[in-house]
């Protein structure tokens, strides 16, 4: 029966990882895959995660199933981390999911269940998995202008004009912070304008927040999500713990749906549990339990926050160093945007041919759209990258 299957397109980033592994050059630089790396190129287990795992090993006496929506304590801890007091907890439905990807996927299914004709507005560009999951589910997507290739900032006027065409029953997918793949983000006043458009069109926001703590800080990175969720009657939020807790393979995420009253919340909560049941029954618990332990223990939380802040500052330092090196070499400030961008990624803004040239001639690996993982750099490789960029005539 399986002869009817068609070859699926290979994941470009995974193909890039393989090419990098196969490259014998000792001075190659991997700016491809989206994981944090420290100055030695390692993706460490965070100290608080190790401590929580140790404690869990000592105290956990059963691995019996949790609830369909996961342990409610995880939902509470994460709702608090992401939403603060922007929305009363009794109005937030929440379900644990396998990673942020699982939360996004369950959100799309929820949208389809509620409104089969809903269109989902997506930033151009966005995380490619958004597009492939929407296409897989047969949900109509509408790209909205986001990245200005000239300034490498947000095309704010284009964005607002495009979002104004959304209607009630449509969904607008927004990145809560640290936009992937561009690194360009809205400022606070621009978020206010987006909220105004959401209120005037009646479209429902969906916020994907996968890098809280990687941009301006834990609280600042959640500010936009909180502001949107507080302003609109219903908001969908997909949160990932993969990056900020460094627990990528544990598959830890949370889907939240806010509403204006407890009755709507109960309906949403039941539907989220139902969706989990259809797809995988109980969500993974190990990562969620570690996150809950860390967020509810003062000492563990303080240690986690301190380490996360070090991670954030190291990426910021690399951004500043790279922008400075490029300024020195080019004698212009046209790369200043690298220091303005936030999060793990920046889009350099060059052609796939140039990206290929950097790979072939210099062993520098970035995604074809010129997305660079800033955390793939260190103080020694920044000058190498800067020279290669200027040498290539970018």
Of the candidates 127, 148, 323, 339, the residue annotated as catalytic is 127
> Looking at beta carbons only, is 210 or 348 nearer to ligand PMP?
210
User: Considering the complex, what minimum distance in angstroms separates the CB of residue 181 from ligand PMP?
Assistant: 8
Closer CB to ligand PMP, 36 or 335, in the complex:
36
Contacts of 291 (CB under 8 A, 6+ apart): 74, 77, 78, 241, 245, 247, 252
Instruction: Give CA separation, 78 vs 196, 231, 240, in Å.
Output: 27, 20, 10
Please give the Cα distance from 122 to 130 (Å, whole number): 8
Which lies closer to ligand PMP via its Cβ, residue 104 or residue 308? 104
Q: Are strands 29-30 and 364-365 parallel, antiparallel or unpaired?
A: parallel
Query: Smallest distance, Å, CB 246 to ligand PMP?
Result: 11
Q: List, in order, residues 6 or more apart from 270 with CB less than 8 Å away.
A: none
Which residues are paired to 238 by β-bridges? 208, 255
Minimal distance in Å, beta carbon 242 to ligand PMP? 4
Shortest distance (Å) from residue 182 CB to ligand PMP = 11
Active site residue 243: yes
Cβ 191 to ligand PMP, closest distance in Å? 17
Q: Which is nearer to ligand PMP, 210 or 367 (CB)?
A: 210
Candidate list 210, 238, 288, 375, residue with the active-site label: 210
Do the beta carbons of residue 110 and residue 259 sit within 8 Å? no
Task: Give me the least distance between CB of 180 and ligand PMP, in Å please.
Answer: 4
How far out from the chain centre does Cα 156 lie? 20
Query: Measured from the CB of residue 208, what is the shortest distance to ligand PMP in angstroms?
Result: 5
127 has catalytic annotation: yes
CB closer to ligand PMP, 363 vs 376: 376
Q: Which two tokens stand for residue 293?
A: 């332990």
As measured in angstroms, the least distance from the Cβ of 248 to ligand PMP is 6
Closer by beta carbon to ligand PMP, 100 or else 363: 100
Residues within the interface to ligand PMP (CB under 6 A): 34, 99-101, 104, 127, 175, 180, 208, 210, 240, 242, 248, 253
Selected catalytic residue, list 30, 79, 243, 303: 243
Question: In b/e form, how buried is each residue of 171-186, taking b as 16+ CB within 10 angstroms?
Answer: bbbbbbbbbbbbbbbb
For residue 191, indicate whether it is catalytic.
no
Q: Rounded to 5 degrees, what angle do the CA atoms 187, 147, 379 make? A: 80
CB nearer to ligand PMP: pick between 104 and 348: 104
Rank residues 110 and 386 by Cβ distance to ligand PMP and give the closer one: 110
Pairing of strands 119-124, 140-145: parallel
Catalogue the active-site residues.
127, 208, 210, 243
């Amino acid at each position: 029966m399986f002869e009817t299957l068609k070859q699926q397109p290979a994941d470009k980033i995974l193909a890039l990882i393989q090419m990098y592994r196969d490259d014998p050059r000792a001075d190659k630089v991997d700016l491809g895959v989206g994981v944090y790396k420290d100055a030695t190129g390692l993706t460490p287990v965070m100290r608080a995660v190790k401590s929580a795992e140790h404690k869990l090993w000592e105290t956990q006496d059963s691995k019996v199933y949790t609830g369909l929506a996961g342990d409610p304590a995880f939902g509470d801890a994460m709702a608090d981390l992401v939403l603060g007091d922007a929305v009363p907890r009794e109005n937030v439905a929440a379900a644990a999911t396998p990673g942020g990807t699982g939360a996004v996927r369950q959100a799309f299914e929820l949208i389809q269940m509620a409104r089969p004709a809903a269109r989902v507005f997506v930033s151009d560009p966005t995380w490619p998995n958004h597009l492939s999951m929407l296409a897989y589910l047969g949900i109509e997507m509408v790209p909205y202008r986001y990245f200005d290739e000239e300034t490498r900032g947000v095309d704010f006027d284009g964005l607002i004009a495009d979002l104004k065409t959304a209607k009630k029953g449509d969904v607008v997918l927004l990145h809560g912070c640290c936009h992937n793949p561009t690194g360009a983000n809205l400022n606070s006043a621009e978020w206010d304008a987006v909220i105004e458009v959401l209120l005037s069109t009646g479209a429902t926001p969906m916020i994907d927040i996968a890098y809280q703590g990687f941009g301006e800080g834990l609280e600042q990175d959640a500010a936009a999500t909180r502001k949107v969720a507080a302003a609109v009657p219903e908001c969908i939020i997909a949160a990932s713990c993969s990056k900020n807790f460094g627990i990528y393979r544990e598959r830890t995420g949370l889907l939240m749906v806010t509403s204006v009253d407890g009755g709507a919340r109960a309906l949403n909560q039941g539907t989220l549990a139902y969706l989990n049941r259809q797809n995988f029954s109980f969500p993974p618990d190990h990562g969620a339990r570690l996150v809950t332990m860390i967020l509810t223990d003062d000492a563990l939380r303080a240690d986690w926050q301190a380490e996360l802040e070090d991670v954030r500052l190291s990426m910021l330092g690399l951004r500043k160093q790279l922008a400075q090196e490029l300024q020195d070499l080019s004698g212009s400030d046209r790369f200043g945007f690298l220091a303005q961008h936030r999060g793990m990624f920046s889009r350099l803004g060059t052609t796939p041919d140039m990206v290929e040239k950097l790979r072939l001639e210099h062993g520098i690996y970035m995604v074809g759209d010129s997305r660079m993982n800033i955390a793939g750099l260190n103080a020694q490789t920044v000058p190498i990258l800067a020279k290669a960029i200027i040498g290539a005539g970018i």
